[in-house]
Structure 1
Amino acid sequence: QAQAAALALRRALLLVTGGPGTGKTTTIARLLLLRIAQARASSTPAPRIALAAPTGRAAERMAESLRAAIARAIADGIQLPAAGSLPAPSGSAGLITSTHPTNAAAPASTGAGLELQTHAASEQGGPPSWEALLPSGASTLHRLLGVIPDSPHFHHNADNPLPFDLIVVDEASMVDLPLMCKLVDAVADGTQLILLGDADQLPSVEAGDVLAAILQAAGPGDALQPEDAQALQSLLGSAPVERPPAVTSATRSGGLDGHRVHLLRGYRQAQDFALAPLADAIRAGDADTALALLRSGELPGVHFHEDGEDPLALGRDALLAHWRALANAQDPAAALRDAGRLRLLTAVRAGPQGARGLNARIEQLLADTGSGARRLGGASPWFQGRLLLITENSYRHGLFNGDVGICLRSDAGPSPGQGDASAVTARGHAAPSSRPGHAGDSARHDAPATDRRAQGPLVAWFEGDGDGQVRGFHPAALPAHESAFAMTVHKAQGSEFDEVWLQLPTRDARVLSRELLYTGITRARRALHLAASEAVMRAALARHAARISGLAWRLGAKDDKPPPVPAPTPAPLPQPPPSAPVQGALF
C-alpha cells in the first residue's frame, strides 16, 4: 500500500490491483491525502479530484468506503503540512503536481459532488481542511463524461477534456473497450489517471477485457523500478526492486512497465468468515482444493450445499424471513440498508436456477404469505416489499444500471412531473407533497403516520444523494427494471452483501467460468452459501472468461501474440453432444 501511494507521486497512469479486502480503498484514501499534502507543502494549487465507477452502485460504495477510510486516516492524526514547507518540484523527473487544465469550470453534465471547493477556506481567511480539499462524492463514468442524449458521443473528449488533475476509477474490470477509449480520450494532458480493480473478476459484459489487457502489458506489479525505488527511498526505505526470476526483458513492455502495484495481503478477513483460501483456489482454477475446502466444513462462515438445486428449499426460512422483514419496514432508508445485507445470486438468467424464474417464485411466495394482498391491483407486479433492480441508465431520474430500490407505501405520494417524490429526510419521512389538495387529504393527514402509510400509495424508493436520504418515484415512471430478490452475478458485480446465497445451475452453461464463481463468492462479507454439484464446479473452474482482442499486444506485451488472420472458409463450430445440454443464458 505504501508503494502504491508513493508511486502515485511519479506516475501519470497508476494501476492498483488486488482481491477483496487487500486495502485498495485504504490505499487510495492515503494516496489522495498524500497528493493534497504534497501540493500544500509546495504551495501549488490542490489537485482537483474526480471519483468514478462503471455503475451507480459501485460509485456509491466507492464513495462510502473512501469517506470511511479518509476519516480513519484523519483520526490517526494525519494533518495538513504548513504551506510552503517544501520547495516546488521541477523537472520532468520530479513529482507530479497539479496542472489545472484550461477548462477550469466543469459543465453541469459532469455531475454534482465531483468538483472541489479548494478555495472556500482560504476565502474565509482560514487554512483549508481535509474535507474542503477532498471530493464529496463519486459518479458513474457516463455522468463524469457527460452523456449527450441519442448520441454515442460525450460532452468531454479530446477537444473538451475533463477539468480534473486526478481521476480515480474503481471496478475497472467492468469497463468495456468503447467506454475506456472515451475515458482515456477525455483525460487532459498532465492529468493523472488511477485505475482500481481485481483482474480475477468477470470482464465487462460488452466487448473487450480491457483491464486484463492493460495489466498484461504492465507486468506483475510486485516490485518497483530501480529509478522509482531510488527517488522514493526517503518515503519507503528499502523496497523490493529486483524483478522476479520468471519475468524477463523479453516478456515485459516498455511503455507500461512500472505502472502497476498489486496488493496481496488481506486485511478485511473476519475471524468468523474465512473466504480467502477458497477464493485463492477458485482463482487458480484448482477444483480439487476448492471442493476439498468446501466439503471439509473448516471454513468459518462458508456453507456448501452439494447438489443443491433449489435455494428456496435450502434456505427458505432465512430468505423469507429477510424479505418479509423488508415488507414490514416503516422506514424506506432503513429498508434499503437492510436489503443490502442478504442477496440471492445466480449464474444464469433463465432456467429453474436462473434469476428470472427464482424471482417469479419468490414473488408468488410473498404473495401467498400476505404481501400480495397489498398489490396495486390483481394483476399488478407492484406490492409492498418488492425489491427492484434498474437495468438501464436514466439521467432524467438520476437512476443507473444496477441501482437497487424497494417498493413501500408512503403517507406522501410521488410529486407530479417526472415521477420523482418530494425530498426525503434521513428518517425516511417524506416532506410535504407539492401536489394540489384533494378531498380527504386533511382527514388522511390527521391519522397516525403508521395508519397513513398502510393506506398510502406504493412508492419505489431508492437511495438519495446524502447519507441516509432516499428518493421516491411513482412505479409507472421508472426506467427499465426488474425484481431484485435474485440477481445474476454479473448484475451484482460492484456490490457487496453481508450474506450471499450463490446458486449454480444443475448443468453446465456457457457463462460459467472461474471468474464468475470468484466474483460471486467475493460479494459476501460475512457469510456464503454455495449450492452446486461437483460436475458443475469442475466445469466452471476449467473455463476462463477470456477475451481475445489483441489490445495487450498493441500496448506492448511481448508475450501476447496479435490475433491470427481468419481462414477464408472457417470450419463450423462444434455442437455440444446431446448428453451435455447447455442451460441458461446471460441475458
Structure 2
Amino acid sequence: MSRKRHLDIHTLEMFAAEPAAPVTAHSVLEVLRLWADAGMLRRLDVALAVWLHEQDPQVQPCVLVAAAMLAQMEGRGHSCLPLADLVATPNAVLGWDAEDLPHLLALWERLPGTCAQWLQALQACPLVRAATEADRAQPLVLAAVDSAHPLLYLRRYWDHERMVAAHILQRSTAAGVQLPEQAAREWLDRFFPVASGAGCNWQKVACAVALRGRFSIITGGPGTGKTYTAARLLALLFATAAQPEQLRVALSAPTGKAAARLKESIETALKDLQQVVGDALDLEALVQRVGAARTLHSLLGARPDTRHWGFHAGRPLDVDVLIVDEASMVHLEMMSALLDALPPHARLVLLGDKDQLASVEAGAVLGDLCRDAQMGRYDAATVDYVARVAGEHIPAPFHADAMAPALAQQTVMLRESRRFSGPIAELALAVNAGDVARSQALLAECGVYDPVFMQAGGAVQRVHQLAWQGRGTAVGYQPFAQALQRWVAIEKASDIAVQHEGWVREVITAFERFRLLCAVREGEWGVAGLNAAVQQLLARLGVIPKEPGEWYRGRPVMVTRNDAALGVFNGDIGIALPSAAPGHPLRVYFLQGNQLHAVSVARLVHVETAFAMTVHKSQGSEFEHTALVLSAKAGSVLGRELVYTGITRARSAFTLMAEDVRLLAQAIAAPTRRVSGLLRFLEGELKA
C-alpha cells in the first residue's frame, strides 16, 4: 500500500468516525505523524509538536498544529509563520499539492475558525511568549498580536531577525562619516569619466552613497558592474582616507568560489583603474592591503558542529571596510553573526542581485532589504548630497514622494548591464519580469545554434545526450573528457613534473565550461539521477573505468562542509586526478584564485559528485554553457527566481531542458515569497 493510500484511509476515516467530535492533542499528533509518514511534513516538524505536548499536556490542539507548521515553514526558508494566513488559507501558506488538500481540510474543519481563537490558545500556552512580554526563554515568540497580521517565530529566528534589523537601523541612521566632499568629487570624476549623452551614472551614485555611511547595498543584475563599482569605492576610500596605509580591508562571500571571483574581479578592476589615474594614486598598495578573499565561515571563525563563531561583539573583526559579494546567498543567521562581529566604526558593503534565489537556509535578507530598490525613494538630502559629491542628478521618478526610509538612502540599484546582453539577457529580463509570453517567444524563435534553446517533453536521455555533446557550438562534457584522456601521454612524459600542472589546469578549465543545473536533488531529472547517468555514459565510452568505485580519475566533486584544516569550503569544486608523485595517487585538485590546491582523496569525506548540481549551489559561478533541467516533481521549489538564477549562470549559451512543456510557464508565474518580519522591524511595526 502506498504512503498516500495509507494516509487516505487513516486520516479521513479517523475524522469520518465522529464528525462532530472535537479534536484532541493526541488525535492531532497522530494526524501529524501520518502526514510525516506521507512526506507532507518532516519528522523534525512533528517532533516540535510532540515536545510541546510533553512540556505542557494541557496545550490546545491548534497550538501543536501551529508549531509543526512553523517548523515546516522554517525548513522551507521562511523565518516565521503568518498566523492569519495559515488559519484562513492553509494550503496557500504551506504550498502542499492539491491532492493533499482533503487531508488538510479534514483537520482544519475541527480547529478554531478565527485567527483570534488561535491567538488566544497560543497566548495561554506557557511555552509561547508575546514579543512585548518579559523573556523567560520560551521556545516560541508571538509578534504583532494587535495587528491584522500576527507572526509566530521560533525563538532563534526572532532573535536573529531582531538583531539584524537593529544593527542595520543603527548603521543606516548613524551620523554620516566625515569626509572631504571636494576631494571625493574630484576623485569620483577621475574614476568615472563622463560619457557623452549618458544619463545618471548609478555606479558613481553608489560610490558616493557608500562613502558617507557605515552600511550600504549595491544591487543589480549580471553585467551591471557591482564589483567594478566596489573596486572604485575602495579606491575612493583609499584616496580620501587620512591614513590610507592603515586602512584594513576585507573581502568575503558565502562560498570559496564566489570569494575567489570577487578577489580576482576587484584586483583586475583596480589594475585597470591604475591606468586611468596614473601616478596620482598608488593602487598597487591598495591591492596589497586587500589580501585574500575569504568565505564568511572562515572570516567569522566558524566552529565545526556548533552555532558559535570565533568573532562576535565581544571579539570584533579587525577590519575597517568589509565587502560581501553574492549577498543573496547570505541567510538570516549568518547575517546576524556578521553584523554582530563588525566593529561599530567599520563599513559594510553588500553586493548582490536581489532577484536571484534566496539562501537555502531561512531568510531572504537581501531580497527584503532591496524590496524598494527599483523605486529608489531618495529623500532631498540624499539627492542634494549626490549632486554635490558625485555631480549626478538622480531622476525625479526615483525621489521619495513621502517619508523616505533610512535604508533606501544607503541602497543603490545599478540599472545598466554593460557585459550581459543578447538573447540570454533578454530571456533573463523577461523571466524576471514575469512575462511568460515573451519568455516562450524568445525560446521559440531560437534553434540549436542560437545562444538560448529549449527542449521540453521527451525522455531524460535528451539531457544525457546534451551533457555529452552539447548543441551546435555550445559544448557539453566532451572537451572535458578529451582533456582527461591526455593523461595517457602525460603519464609517459619524461618531464611529467613540468607538464602535470598544465594538464590539471586544462582539465579543470574544460570542466568549468559546462554544467547541468537542476531544480531538485532526487529522481532521474535531479542531481542524483543525472550524476549517475553522466558517470555511466563516461564509463561506457571508456573515459572512466567500467566499475569506477567511489574515487576515479576525472571524478568532479563539490565540498559540502567547511574544513579549514584542509583549506576547502562548502561549495568548492575540485576534480580527482592522478598526481605527479611516484605511483600517481589520486588527489583532488581545486583552483583557488589562480593557485592549485591539492588534497588527498582519503582526507575528503564531505563531498558529492558534481557533473550536475542544484541551482542553489551554482550561485557565485558562471559557465560558458549552462543547461537548466526542470523536473515535473519540483513542486514548490520551481519558481521564477530559480529559472532566472539558472539563466544568469550562462555566459555564452543557455539550454532549458524541461520534463514537461508547461513547467517553464508555471515557474515564471510563481515568484518566491519568503515570509519574514524583517521589514516590519525596520519600519518600526515590530519591536523587541
* TM surpasses 0.5: yes
Show the counterpart of 1:143: 298
Supply the distance in 2 between the matched residues of 1:180 and 1:207 (Cα, whole angstroms): 11
2:313 is aligned with 1:158: yes
State the 1:386 CA deviation: 1.2
Letter of the 2:276 counterpart: D
Q: Secondary structure at the match of 1:178?
A: helix
Q: Secondary structure at the match of 1:258?
A: helix
State the 1:133 CA deviation: 5.1
Q: Secondary structure at the match of 1:193?
A: strand
State the 1:44 CA deviation: 5.8
2:545 is aligned with 1:395: no
Structure 1 segments, 4+ long, off by >6 Å, are none
Cα distance change on mapping 1:185 and 1:295 into 2, 3 Å? same
**Structure 1 range deviating more: 169-178 or 65-74:** 65-74
Q: Write out aligned runs for 1:152-231 (5 A).
A: 152-216=307-371, 219-220=373-374, 222=376, 224-231=378-385
2:549 is aligned with 1:380: yes
Supply the distance in 1 between the matched residues of 2:426 and 2:388 (Cα, whole angstroms): 36
Supply the distance in 2 between the matched residues of 1:480 and 1:399 (Cα, whole angstroms): 10
Contact 1:226–1:241 at 8 Å: present in 2 too? no
Contact 1:326–1:339 at 8 Å: present in 2 too? no
Contact 2:215–2:410 at 8 Å: present in 1 too? yes
2:222 is aligned with 1:70: no
Show the counterpart of 2:511: 339
2:463 to 306, 311, 318: 311
Contact 2:625–2:650 at 8 Å: present in 1 too? yes
Cα distance change on mapping 1:535 and 1:21 into 2, 3 Å? same
Q: Secondary structure at the match of 2:357?
A: coil
Supply the distance in 2 between the matched residues of 1:202 and 1:472 (Cα, whole angstroms): 31
Q: Secondary structure at the match of 1:8?
A: helix
Show the counterpart of 1:459: 587
Supply the distance in 2 between the matched residues of 1:163 and 1:43 (Cα, whole angstroms): 16
Letter of the 2:402 counterpart: S
Show the counterpart of 2:238: 36
2:662 is aligned with 1:509: no
2:440 is aligned with 1:288: no
**Structure 1 range deviating more: 364-373 or 53-62:** 364-373
Show the counterpart of 2:617: 491
Which has the larger share of helix? 2
Show the counterpart of 1:576: none
State the 1:534 CA deviation: 3.3
State the 1:25 CA deviation: 0.9
Supply the distance in 2 between the matched residues of 1:456 and 1:43 (Cα, whole angstroms): 52
Supply the distance in 2 between the matched residues of 1:72 and 1:8 (Cα, whole angstroms): 21
Supply the distance in 2 between the matched residues of 1:557 and 1:75 (Cα, whole angstroms): 47
Letter of the 2:223 counterpart: G
State the 1:238 CA deviation: 4.1
Contact 1:80–1:130 at 8 Å: present in 2 too? no
State the 1:405 CA deviation: 0.6
Show the counterpart of 2:158: none
Show the counterpart of 2:451: 301
Greater C-alpha Rg: 2
Show the counterpart of 1:420: none
Show the counterpart of 2:417: 266
**Structure 1 range deviating more: 316-325 or 166-175:** 316-325
Supply the distance in 2 between the matched residues of 1:380 and 1:534 (Cα, whole angstroms): 36
Contact 2:375–2:397 at 8 Å: present in 1 too? no
**Structure 1 range deviating more: 236-245 or 22-31:** 236-245
Letter of the 2:623 counterpart: F
Show the counterpart of 1:7: 209
State the 1:403 CA deviation: 0.6
Contact 2:376–2:408 at 8 Å: present in 1 too? no
Contact 1:223–1:242 at 8 Å: present in 2 too? no
The TM-score with structure 1 as length reference comes to 0.74
Show the counterpart of 2:674: 547
Contact 1:507–1:536 at 8 Å: present in 2 too? no
State the 1:379 CA deviation: 6.0
Letter of the 1:543 counterpart: A
Show the counterpart of 2:18: none
Contact 2:386–2:392 at 8 Å: present in 1 too? no
Show the counterpart of 2:107: none
Q: Write out aligned runs for 1:345-424 (5 A).
A: 345-373=517-545, 378=547, 380-412=549-581
Letter of the 2:265 counterpart: S
Supply the distance in 2 between the matched residues of 1:336 and 1:556 (Cα, whole angstroms): 48
Q: Secondary structure at the match of 1:527?
A: strand
Supply the distance in 2 between the matched residues of 1:321 and 1:379 (Cα, whole angstroms): 19
Cα deviation digits, residues 171-194 of structure 1 (max 9, x gap) = 111111111001001111111110
2:600 is aligned with 1:474: yes
Cα distance change on mapping 1:137 and 1:221 into 2, 3 Å? farther
Contact 1:214–1:552 at 8 Å: present in 2 too? yes
Supply the distance in 2 between the matched residues of 1:323 and 1:551 (Cα, whole angstroms): 45
1:240 to 394, 397, 414: 394
Supply the distance in 1 between the matched residues of 2:555 and 2:548 (Cα, whole angstroms): 15
Letter of the 2:294 counterpart: S
Q: Secondary structure at the match of 1:316?
A: helix
2:651 is aligned with 1:525: yes
State the 1:45 CA deviation: 5.1
**Structure 1 range deviating more: 255-264 or 21-30:** 255-264
Supply the distance in 2 between the matched residues of 1:54 and 1:287 (Cα, whole angstroms): 32
Cα deviation digits, residues 122-149 of structure 1 (max 9, x gap) = xxxxx88434554132100111111234
Supply the distance in 2 between the matched residues of 1:129 and 1:476 (Cα, whole angstroms): 40
Contact 1:223–1:241 at 8 Å: present in 2 too? no
Supply the distance in 2 between the matched residues of 1:521 and 1:78 (Cα, whole angstroms): 39
Letter of the 1:48 counterpart: R
Supply the distance in 2 between the matched residues of 1:303 and 1:78 (Cα, whole angstroms): 45
State the 1:296 CA deviation: 1.3
Letter of the 1:50 counterpart: A
Q: Secondary structure at the match of 1:275?
A: helix
State the 1:498 CA deviation: 1.0
Show the counterpart of 2:221: 19
Cα distance change on mapping 1:406 and 1:315 into 2, 3 Å? closer
Cα distance change on mapping 1:130 and 1:241 into 2, 3 Å? farther
Contact 2:376–2:412 at 8 Å: present in 1 too? yes
Number of residue pairs the alignment of both structures matches: 461
Q: Secondary structure at the match of 1:228?
A: helix
Contact 1:221–1:261 at 8 Å: present in 2 too? no
Supply the distance in 1 between the matched residues of 2:293 and 2:626 (Cα, whole angstroms): 26
Contact 2:238–2:244 at 8 Å: present in 1 too? no
Q: What is the root-mean-square deviation of aligned Cα atoms in Å?
A: 2.5
**Structure 1 range deviating more: 131-140 or 45-54:** 131-140
Cα distance change on mapping 1:36 and 1:67 into 2, 3 Å? same
Letter of the 1:461 counterpart: Y
Letter of the 2:415 counterpart: L
Letter of the 1:57 counterpart: K
Q: Secondary structure at the match of 2:674?
A: coil
Supply the distance in 1 between the matched residues of 2:587 and 2:247 (Cα, whole angstroms): 41
Supply the distance in 2 between the matched residues of 1:264 and 1:16 (Cα, whole angstroms): 11
State the 1:236 CA deviation: 2.4
**Percentage identity across aligned positions?**
38
RCO greater where, 1 or 2, for CA within 8 Å and sep 6 or more? Answer: 1
Show the counterpart of 2:149: none
Letter of the 1:280 counterpart: L
Cα deviation digits, residues 528-582 of structure 1 (max 9, x gap) = 1112243111111121222112111111188xxx79xxxxxxxxxxxxxxxxxxx
The TM-score with structure 2 as length reference comes to 0.63
Which blocks of at least 5 consecutive residues in structure 1 are unaligned? 82-126, 413-443, 445-454, 564-587
